[in-house]
Amino acid sequence: MSARRIAFEVLRRVEEGGAFASRALDAALEAAGAIDPREAGLATELTYGTLRRALTLDAALAPHSRRAIGTLDPAARVALRLGAYQLLFLGTAAHAAVGETVGLVKAVDAGRAAGFVNAVLRALSRAPRLPEPPPLGDDPAGHVAVAESLPRFVAEEWVAWLGAEEALALARAMNQPAPLCVRSPRRDELLEKARAAGLAARPAARSPHGAILSGAPVRALARAAQGVPFQVQDEGAQLAGLYAAGHLAGSTGARVLDACAAPGGKTFHLAELVGPHGEVVAVELHPRKADQLRDEAARRGYRQVKVICADASQPLPGLAPASFDAVLCDAPCAGLGTLRRHPELKLRRTAEDLARAAGLQRAIAANALRYARPGAPFTYAICSLSRAEGPALVQALVDLGFSRLPPPAGFPADALTAEGDLLTLPSRHDCDGFYAARLAAR
């Protein structure tokens, strides 16, 4: 199967079926079997690039379409974006970008949309223009939104929170591919094995458990690792785990509550930090995810992990309040810190999602923090970047009388705010955007 067809099918699954692009692309490449790595690379570029720039592409296509892009049949919309991305961002020759794209839609619905897609892409190819952003000084959010294909409400939020320059750098960084980062409790040994196998691997900049692999897929690292355990996990996520429970590394018998646990990246990191004589109680609302987490803990041999399927916004069955040495609440969120890996969120999130997420986050945090013993840290974490889900929510808890605790000793200072909260940004730290705060239960 060609790269363009793979990208087209994946983009349709994202647009029509609500799939995550990363999972749909992995599955499509797996199903395609032995394809040329260059074709796989092009399929990846087309899929992610089209989603990252979708809002810009729609704006560039609009003057050439008699119907609003948002009202088109999803297959036609996806085809137009795919063709436009090649014309406007990859410099693909017009005959190839248009001809190949039209060929893709011919196979859908007996080719009903092919003539329309052909006409719109041909018109765009004759006048290939990107929308012009307003000057940054006049309309900072407008500039960020148009220049980096970001929803206006996200641009406004980032400009108001971080300032125009940082918001622009952040939006730009979100349009770059994310590095492949893994976590290992034996990181240096893993790096040695990787290098001995000829892989380009280096330590992550801030997490002592993180390694960055370049130019090779994770299965190459799995072959090279020869039993050294590791897990794919962004460095920002590792920093959130360390922020929550780094102080427990090397302790004996520590108990940690992970209140929103699946798929378990942080659960397993916490298990590595407290070691085999500690305990991590992992709570997950959805039964299927809880089952998968239990199976994965068993497969990895983490007997210190106990999984409970429960709603963390309600009293937790079988758990005594004030009984944990650390509590992590890695709350469900809008995911705006992960746009590099999940660019489809740019098309799915709305301003209302932030307030909705904040309501649920507050309910979970208010319940989960009761399980930290007096003086022990309760860490509230999100992989999103909005004040409503992050600092504003934490401030509301502080206003209720919960005090901030300092970060663990030796925590990387350049990933902390003036208040001592964790804040990672792809523009500054080359990892996903995470926000976390440490509070003490009363």
Ligand X SMILES: C[S@@+](CC[C@H](N)C(=O)[O-])C[C@H]1O[C@@H](n2cnc3c(N)ncnc32)[C@H](O)[C@@H]1O
Catalytic residues: 383
The residue among 266 and 342 lying less far from ligand X, judged by its C-beta, is 266
End-to-end CA gap in the chain: 60
Q: Is 265 annotated as a binding residue?
A: yes
Residue 362 Cβ vs ligand X, minimum distance, rounded to whole Å: 11
The residue among 248 and 364 lying less far from ligand X, judged by its C-beta, is 364
Q: Does 319 bind ligand X (CB under 6 A)?
A: no
Quick check: helix, strand or coil at residue 239?
Answer: helix
Residues 359-398 that bind ligand X (CB under 6 A): 364
Residues 264-283 that bind ligand X (CB under 6 A): 264-266, 283
The residue within the footprint of ligand X, chosen from 23, 223, 277, 286 (CB under 6 A), is 286
**Token pair for 400:** 């209720």
- Residue nearest to ligand X as judged by C-beta position: 260
Residue 376 Cβ vs ligand X, minimum distance, rounded to whole Å: 19
Cβ–Cβ < 8 Å for 381, 422: yes
For 370, residues 6+ apart whose C-beta sits below 8 A from its C-beta are 321, 322, 441
Cβ–Cβ < 8 Å for 11, 82: yes
Quick check: helix, strand or coil at residue 282?
Answer: strand
The residue within the footprint of ligand X, chosen from 108, 213, 281, 285 (CB under 6 A), is 285
Q: How many CB atoms lie within 10 A of CB 312?
A: 25
Residues 47-106 that bind ligand X (CB under 6 A): none
The residue among 76 and 257 lying less far from ligand X, judged by its C-beta, is 257
How far is it, in rounded angstroms, from Cα 84 to Cα 65?
A: 13
Cα angle: 194, vertex 195, 198; to 5 degrees: 95
Q: Is 171 annotated as a binding residue?
A: no
The residue among 257 and 376 lying less far from ligand X, judged by its C-beta, is 257
Residue 262 Cβ vs ligand X, minimum distance, rounded to whole Å: 4
Concatenated DSSP letters of 65-125: -SS-GGGS-HHHHHHHHHHHHHHHTS---HHHHHHHHHHHHHTSGGGTTHHHHHHHHHHHH
Residue 334 Cβ vs ligand X, minimum distance, rounded to whole Å: 10
CA-based R_g, the chain, Å = 23
Which one of 60-68, 142-150, 260-268, 385-393 is the stretch in contact with ligand X (CB under 6 A)?
A: 260-268
Q: Is 260 annotated as a binding residue?
A: yes
**Token pair for 384:** 């999103």
Cβ–Cβ < 8 Å for 427, 340: no
The residue among 93 and 355 lying less far from ligand X, judged by its C-beta, is 355
The residue within the footprint of ligand X, chosen from 263, 301, 317, 406 (CB under 6 A), is 263
Q: Does 284 bind ligand X (CB under 6 A)?
A: yes
The residue within the footprint of ligand X, chosen from 46, 60, 121, 261 (CB under 6 A), is 261
Residues 185-224 that bind ligand X (CB under 6 A): none
Binding residues with ligand X: total (CB under 6 A):
19
Q: Does 229 bind ligand X (CB under 6 A)?
A: no
Cβ–Cβ < 8 Å for 88, 52: no
Q: Does 311 bind ligand X (CB under 6 A)?
A: yes
The residue among 11 and 244 lying less far from ligand X, judged by its C-beta, is 244
Which one of 86-94, 194-202, 258-266, 402-410 is the stretch in contact with ligand X (CB under 6 A)?
A: 258-266
Q: Does 297 bind ligand X (CB under 6 A)?
A: no
The residue among 69 and 285 lying less far from ligand X, judged by its C-beta, is 285
Site string for ligand X, 129-158 (x = CB under 6 A): ------------------------------
How far is it, in rounded angstroms, from Cα 48 to Cα 55?
A: 13
Residues 320-349 that bind ligand X (CB under 6 A): 330, 332
* Closest C-alpha to 79, from 52, 106, 55: 106
SS3 content of the chain, % helix, strand, coil (to 5): 50, 15, 35
Burial 369-378 (b: 16+ CB within 10 A, else e): bbbbeeebbb
The residue within the footprint of ligand X, chosen from 59, 145, 312, 431 (CB under 6 A), is 312
How far is it, in rounded angstroms, from Cα 186 to Cα 359?
A: 39
The residue among 194 and 270 lying less far from ligand X, judged by its C-beta, is 270
Q: What is the dihedral of CA 411, 333, 211, 418, to 10 degrees?
A: -20
Cβ–Cβ < 8 Å for 401, 352: no
Quick check: helix, strand or coil at residue 259?
Answer: coil
Q: Binding site for S-adenosyl-L-methionine, residues?
A: 260-266, 284, 311, 330
Q: Which residues bind ligand X (CB under 6 A)?
A: 237, 260-266, 283-286, 289, 311-313, 330, 332, 364
Q: Which residues define the annotated binding site?
A: 260-266, 284, 311, 330
